[in-house]
């Protein structure tokens, strides 16, 4: 997928393709999680009219703990999805030909948060403990890490017992789990807001242990990328989205308020979203949407280094393309 057909290249070289009827082209975006500042760039692009300027009508579809974006994409429920690379590459190896077309997040915000009084002082101590984690593909980075450490996930004294987590951090707060996977911009602060002191916790950031993987990439189906009009539509979508991210990073407070306006559940709070936006800005800082191939390779190597139970069994081929971001950044 690193190369575009001559026909598509010629069309892109001539500029964005206008629709014959003058109507906006539709893009359905499936989010990785619920409406929150993690996705501020897209909501900003929608609110500020960046998508409209590109001739696009974008529908942002919230996710959740029981929604697997690859399944939504496969079923035709979305044109493009946001997904962590471990989940997407596992889906690709299992027969769903997804391709990374852009990578707004350049670093990981994933970490493990444990009770300090659990006796866990380093990741190797996790054996014999219960860990709460999100499923539906979100668990792959953790499974890869445990496999590298030689710790099973089937329970017992020598393994970790996995407990499915949902929207909140109740499994940790209620001591159903000794540890819980958290994001630097979200669940960790939910724990703190519940009245827990940082001194009562011990955290392990994936970035600090060399096992981080890329998160929140933009993925599309490979067959769609054979269509020059789809490639052009995605280039316009990525260009507008990255404008949204740039604006959100420069105006974090205003971006968080925009996100709150789009939260139809009413579950998000101003304080939490403001703080989240500040943390998320650190994860997109320095990126322009183009996938860093070295970071991609580090992710693949991490997933392959899973001992007898790796997340993927062989290095993927054709799992990313620069054709969309090259077109998006050309203007």
Where does residue 79 rank: exposed (0-12), middle (13-18), buried (19+ CB within 10 A)?
A: buried
Closest CA to 245 of 290, 213, 204: 290
pLDDT at residue 137, as a whole number: 79
| C-alpha dist (Å) from residue 177 to 65, 173, 181 | 17, 8, 10
pLDDT at residue 2, as a whole number: 37
Q: Which residue has the higher pLDDT, 71 or 137?
A: 71
pLDDT at residue 305, as a whole number: 84
What angle do the packed helices 293-304 and 85-93 form, to 10 degrees? 70
Q: How would DSSP label each residue in 137-192? A: TTTHHHHHHHHHHT-BSB-STTBPEEEE--SS-HHHHTTS-SEEEEETTTHHHHHH
Q: What is the pLDDT of residues 44-76, one digit of tens each?
A: 999 999 999 999 999 999 999 889 999 999 999
| C-alpha dist (Å) from residue 267 to 77, 80, 205, 213, 273 | 25, 26, 27, 29, 11
CA–CA separation, 54 and 18 (whole Å): 10
CA–CA separation, 12 and 57 (whole Å): 20
Mean pLDDT of the chain: 92
Phi, psi of 56 (to 5 degrees): -120, 145
CA–CA separation, 71 and 136 (whole Å): 10
Contact present, 80 and 59 (Cβ < 8 Å): no
Contact present, 180 and 120 (Cβ < 8 Å): no
Q: What is the pLDDT of residues 219-275, one digit of tens each?
A: 999 999 999 999 999 999 999 999 999 999 999 999 999 999 999 998 899 999 999
Please list, in sequence order, all residues whose beta carbon lies within 8 angstroms of the beta carbon of residue 85, skipping any fewer than 6 positions away.
100, 213, 214, 215, 217, 296, 299
pLDDT at residue 22, as a whole number: 59
Kindly tell me if the per-residue pLDDT of 138 is higher than 90: no
* 0.75 surpassed by pTM: yes
Q: What is the pLDDT of residues 268-309, one digit of tens each?
A: 999 999 999 999 999 999 999 999 999 999 999 989 986 667
pLDDT band at residue 136 under the 50/70/90 scheme? confident
Token duo for residue 108: 């990981």
- pLDDT > 70 in the chain, percent: 92
CA–CA separation, 228 and 12 (whole Å): 8
Q: What is the pLDDT of residues 188-204, one digit of tens each?
A: 999 999 999 999 999 99
pLDDT at residue 20, as a whole number: 44
CA–CA separation, 259 and 44 (whole Å): 8
pLDDT band at residue 11 under the 50/70/90 scheme? very low
Contact present, 108 and 207 (Cβ < 8 Å): yes
pLDDT at residue 65, as a whole number: 87
Q: What is the pLDDT of residues 87-121, one digit of tens each?
A: 999 999 999 999 999 999 999 999 999 999 999 99
Kindly tell me if the per-residue pLDDT of 5 is higher than 60: no
């Amino acid at each position: 997928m690193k190369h575009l057909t001559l026909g598509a290249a010629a069309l892109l070289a001539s500029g964005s393709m206008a629709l014959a009827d003058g109507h906006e082209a539709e893009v359905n975006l499936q989010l990785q999680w619920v409406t929150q500042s993690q996705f501020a760039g897209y909501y900003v692009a929608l609110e500020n009219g960046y998508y409209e300027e590109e001739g696009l009508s974008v529908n942002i579809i919230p996710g959740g703990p029981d929604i697997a974006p690859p399944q939504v994409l496969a079923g035709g429920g979305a044109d493009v999805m946001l997904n962590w690379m471990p989940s997407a590459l596992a889906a690709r190896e299992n027969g769903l030909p997804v391709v990374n077309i852009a990578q707004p997040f350049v670093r990981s915000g994933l970490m493990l948060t444990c009770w300090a009084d659990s006796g866990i002082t380093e990741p190797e101590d996790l054996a014999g403990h219960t860990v709460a984690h999100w499923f539906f593909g979100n668990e792959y980075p953790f499974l890869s890490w445990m496999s590298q450490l030689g710790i099973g996930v089937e329970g017992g004294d020598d393994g970790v017992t996995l407990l499915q987590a949902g929207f909140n951090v109740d499994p940790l707060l209620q001591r159903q789990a000794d540890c819980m996977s958290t994001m630097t911009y979200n669940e960790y602060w939910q724990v703190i807001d519940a009245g827990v002191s940082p001194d009562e916790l011990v955290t392990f950031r994936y970035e600090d242990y060399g096992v981080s993987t890329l998160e929140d990439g933009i993925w599309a189906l490979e067959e769609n990328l054979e269509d020059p009009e789809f490639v052009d539509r995605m280039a316009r979508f990525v260009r507008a989205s990255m404008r949204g991210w740039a604006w959100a990073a420069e105006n974090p407070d205003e971006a968080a308020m925009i996100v709150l306006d789009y939260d139809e559940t009413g579950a998000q709070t101003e304080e939490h979203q403001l703080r989240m936006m500040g943390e998320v800005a650190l994860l997109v800082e320095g990126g322009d949407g183009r996938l860093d191939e070295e970071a991609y390779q580090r992710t693949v190597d991490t997933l392959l280094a899973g001992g007898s139970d790796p997340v993927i069994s062989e290095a993927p081929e054709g799992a990313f393309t620069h054709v969309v971001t090259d077109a998006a950044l050309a203007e």
